[in-house]
Amino acid sequence: MTAVEQSLPAKEQQPKTIYLKDYQVPGYLIKTTDLRFEIYEGETIVSAMLHLYRNPAASTPATQLTLHGADLELISIALDGKVLTGSDYEFGEESLTIFNTPAEFKLLSITKIKPESNTSLEGLYRSRTMYCTQCEAEGFRKITYYLDRPDVMSEFTTTVVADKKYPVLLSNGNLIDQGDAENNRHYATWHDPFKKPAYLFALVAGDLAHIEDKFTTCSKREVTLKIFVEPKDLDKCDHAMTSLKNSLRWDEEVYGREYDLNIFMIVAVDDFNMGAMENKGLNIFNTSCVLAKPETTTDGGFQRVEGVVAHEYFHNWSGNRVTCRDWFQLSLKEGFTVYRDSEFSADMGSRTVKRVEDVTLLRTLQFAEDAGPMAHPIRPESYIEISNFYTMTIYEKGAEIIRMLATLLGKENFRKGTDLYFERHDGQAVTTEDFVAALSDASGRDLTQFKRWYSQAGTPRLQVSDHYDEDAQEYSLTIKQSCPPTPECQQKLPFHIPVAIGLLGSAGDLPLYLKDAEPDFETGDNTHKVLELTAAEQTFVFQRVQEKPVPSLLRGFSAPVKLHYDYSRDDLIVLMSRDSDGFNRWEASQQLGLQAIHRAMEAYQRGEDFAALQLDVDLVAAYRSVLQDDSLDKAMVAYMLSLPSEAYLSELADLVDVEAIHYSRTAIRKMIARELRDDFARIYRAYDHAQPYAATADAIAARSLKNVALGYLMVLVDETVVRACEQQYRAANNMTDVIAALTQLVNAEAPLAQQLAEVALADFYQRWQHESLVVNQWISVQATCVLPNTLAKVKTLQTHAAYDGKNPNKIRALVASFCNGNAINFHADAGAGYQFLADQIIVLNTQNPQIASRLLTPLTKWKKYSPDRQRLMKTELERIMATPGLSKDVFEVVSKSLV
């Protein structure tokens, strides 16, 4: 039939805001969805047969059907076999409305799409040698006309037809048919027996290789596991497969969740906006989250693969079998699943190290988000573009909310609650209230006040004071909570906050006898307790305290809050040296580092020379004792000796002084390096560089500490150390040590180091130019170089053969690394960095709006800088805002930033 071409109405001047309060159930539901994809070079024809019926939950019976659709060419549409004409329907902006629809009917639509020119990487698009999809959040509407909302769940059957040069044809569920078609083509038909919303749909067609394994579930069913990659990457899949099998077993043992299909597949894609996607039974991953081998992947890369594989697999239950009713409930699946993957990683490695890593990320990025123009509750009240709400708040703070619930309920009750949640809501699209209700019903706990965490934005602040009554042997802790106002809510109600504590005396942890509470000897030695803060101010009194203690507060970072307690330097040294809580030992080391850096910053701002500064001898002794304590996890030692990052220092500041932060932190690093030179040298010499690589927790920890030692030694501008660093680069048998050495050479000021760095950079590219992910590391090392003129190097790299301005991984490696991870250069040169970033965003606005929007973050913080910088940053935001055809993604972030 002749194509029906309709011109869509022009976009409104200001994109529409979507509100949670306006949610209404869909007028129609879809029982079954039968899809057929005919893939040709240059275009794909999509036939969609939908079996629709009126939603009995709707307040009034629907008499018309509005489907979502974007960038589609409608060829034909028929209702119960009758071809519809122009008078039977009308187009809207990203919609198609069909009039006079009956109570139940079948709708067949045929559309044409062009994956090859789809640079947004949403819907069906082409990546290198394959076709693939990304449908979360609203990408399915770029494939066919559909009810593209998470509360419409349907049973999918998908047939993919393509030329035989694409031998692998995949979709969700189990393979039920395959065979040859005309003109050297073939087909495969997949059926997913579990209802799912369109955002979980997936399709892949390509020339791919795979590895295969088996997993026997707890009910003795055998599941086939396959990981598909481009043939050149087949040797990099073993770690992902091991991680997948560990994830399946862990989810059975910890949550009682068994996998449900006959096959589970992962496909690695080079062009991908996100890290990975949990499509039912067919997870599509960014290559950076699948491929790993020692020669090409750092320890951090190995850990990321393990964590992301687990995260997407765990979504099979927390996101797929039970999904979210609407996108305001996004943290229902993401926060819960981040918590699950974090616990998995903690069980696979070091629990304390994992907690330190998670909290570092949270306090550096999510706290900044809470204090910025894009601040929003865990469950937002409104959005313009949902892609902008795949945020640290939804994911990382969302996970902290779940962690607090687990802490408050205890392990047994939390498991009962999740069991009830999955049992009660299997096959449903639900809300955060449904999740909390299941935990409350299973445990018998009233969680009404706790739900404020879902509706109030911002980072709560705890102000703690204490008093010791020696005569009564009573110790009192008074805790006040507050939360800064946000545009949506000026006056916050008190949160329900679990505050885990211990008390340290001269001999270590003291037993805790909380007034009017029973001691806890059943689950431990009564030296650790979770206080429940529910009022704006509460006082907790401990009895039988025979000496004035040092309080160990917020152990394990038991709540996502900012804690204020007037610790002395001596208190912090006690905590760093003796606290039984590993997290708080690290936290004390960070606070000691902060104190030293802040003293240096004050001197810098007074115009004084750093040479006059001296490190406190007790602080040096504390650091040395940590270095010499062989009982400590080497990874923890590495973290305890690593100073707070510039990003964290900036987050803590009311007004960011970029130069003071950078140069003061650098000065303190040099002081520590001088004082502990012999200890760092001993650690570096003791490491056996020839030992075979292993991605075990112990081996990763040893490499981490050794490379921290190298980093400190390299700031001393010692030719012997520079030569040793270059030798590590040359001789290393793993990418972790290669990148560590290359990074140190690139950032060292010494002329010899710079000469060796240039040679090493050229050698690195020559060796690894055909490995895209490795080249990304090479790009990122250069983009984050803190020496002057880095912006010029970044611009040069944009013209390098290694760079592809349409590939999200390349953009992140170059543009995001420079703008987010190189403050001293991004904020230099009278705003040249700001102009550079704005230029990239304007280009990406039409090419890939999601990536454009995510790059905006550094400019959104303009109010935290000096007036001169504010003016320059705001000018670039206004230039972006004035760009014709601004996408919803970019418009939302820029408009909120300029308020």
Cis, bond preceding 137 (omega within 30 deg of 0): yes
- pLDDT surpasses 90 at 706: yes
pLDDT for 564-620, tens place per residue? 999 999 999 999 999 999 999 999 999 999 999 999 999 999 999 998 899 999 889
Confidence of residue 9 (pLDDT cuts 50, 70, 90): very low
Arithmetic mean of pLDDT, 767-791: 98
Q: In the numeric block, which tokens belong to residue 602?
A: 């004050």
Query: How confident is the prediction for the chain on average, in pLDDT?
Result: 96
Listed residue (817, 804, 897) closest to 855, CA to CA: 817
| CA 421 – CA 334 distance, rounded (Å) | 15
Q: What is the pLDDT of residue 444?
A: 98
Return the CATH superfamily for domain 769-899.
Peptidase M1, alanyl aminopeptidase, C-terminal domain (1.25.50.10)
Q: In the numeric block, which tokens belong to residue 759?
A: 């040679």
pLDDT for 343-381, tens place per residue? 999 999 999 999 999 999 999 999 999 999 999 999 999
pLDDT for 796-821, tens place per residue? 999 999 999 999 999 999 999 999 99
- pLDDT surpasses 60 at 4: no
Q: Which helix (H) or strand (E) holds 181?
A: strand 174-181
Q: What is the pLDDT of residue 8?
A: 34
Q: Is the fold of 1-207 the same as that of 461-494+496-555?
A: yes
Q: What is the pLDDT of residue 488?
A: 75
Q: In the numeric block, which tokens belong to residue 878?
A: 């206004």
Q: Indicate the fold that domain 322-455 takes in CATH.
A: Neutral Protease; domain 2 (1.10.390)
Beta-strand relationship, 263-269 and 276-277 = unpaired
Could you give phi then psi for residue 615, rounded to 5 degrees?
-75, 145
Q: At residue 142, what is the residue type?
A: K
312 as an active site residue: the answer is: yes
Arithmetic mean of pLDDT, 137-158: 98
Q: In the numeric block, which tokens belong to residue 804?
A: 């592809």
Sheet holding 222-229, edge to edge: 209-216, 222-229, 263-269, 282-286, 276-277
Parse the chain into domains and list their residue ranges: 1-207, 322-455, 461-494+496-555, 769-899
Q: At what angle do helices 330-348 and 299-314 cross, to 10 degrees?
A: 130
Other C-beta atoms within 10 Å of 35: how many? Answer: 22
| CA 643 – CA 13 distance, rounded (Å) | 47
pTM of this prediction?
A: 0.97
Q: What is the pLDDT of residue 13?
A: 60
How much of the chain, in percent, has pLDDT values that exceed 90?
A: 95
pLDDT for 437-457, tens place per residue? 999 999 999 999 999 999 999
Residues sharing a CB contact under 8 Å with residue 743, sequence separation 6 or more, in sequence order: 781, 784
Q: Under a CB-based contact definition with an 8 Å cutoff, are residues 217 and 250 in contact? A: no
Rg of the chain over all Cα atoms, to the nearest angstrom: 28
| CA 303 – CA 312 distance, rounded (Å) | 14
Q: What is the pLDDT of residue 859?
A: 98
pLDDT for 67-83, tens place per residue? 999 999 999 999 999 99
Q: In the numeric block, which tokens belong to residue 203?
A: 């399709």
pLDDT for 399-436, tens place per residue? 999 999 999 999 999 999 999 999 999 999 999 999 99
Q: Which of 278, 312, 369, 771 is labelled catalytic?
A: 312
Arithmetic mean of pLDDT, 531-553: 98
- pLDDT surpasses 80 at 7: no
Q: Under a CB-based contact definition with an 8 Å cutoff, are residues 359 and 342 in contact? A: no
- pLDDT surpasses 50 at 10: no
1-207 in CATH: which number?
2.60.40.1730
Q: Indicate the fold that domain 461-494+496-555 takes in CATH.
A: Immunoglobulin-like (2.60.40)
Q: What is the pLDDT of residue 520?
A: 79
